[in-house]
Amino acid sequence: MAEEKNRNQSHPDDDAESSPDSEAGLSATALSSRVKFEIFGEEMIEKRVKASGNSGRVYLPPDWVGHKVKIIRID
């Protein structure tokens, strides 16, 4: 029931006309460069990716080993 309520609520960013970005004169491509994800899960950790050779690395808790995770870049 609570999930349905959350899905039906409007978010201020959903209406581009009332967004401060649209008033600043940004183009449509600038407004659509970010997307909204809705994910249901067990736990969330926010960390910075550290350099590791020619790649990046994020360390997670050992009890997460073997579990499925999803990574979303937020900046």
pLDDT at 57: 97
Contact 52, 37 (CB under 8 A): no
Residue 63 CA from chain centroid, whole number: 23
Task: Provide the residue range defining the domain that includes 51.
Answer: 2-64
Tokens of residue 24, six digits: 């600043």
Residues paired with residue 51 on neighbouring β-strands, in sequence order: 56
Residue 71 lies in a domain: no
Residue 30 lies in a domain: yes
Residue ranges of the chain whose pLDDT lies below 70: 1-32
Tokens of residue 26, six digits: 């940004």
Q: Which of 4-10's residues contact partners 24+ apart within 8 Å by CB, and which partners?
A: 7/38
**Tally of domains within the chain:** 1
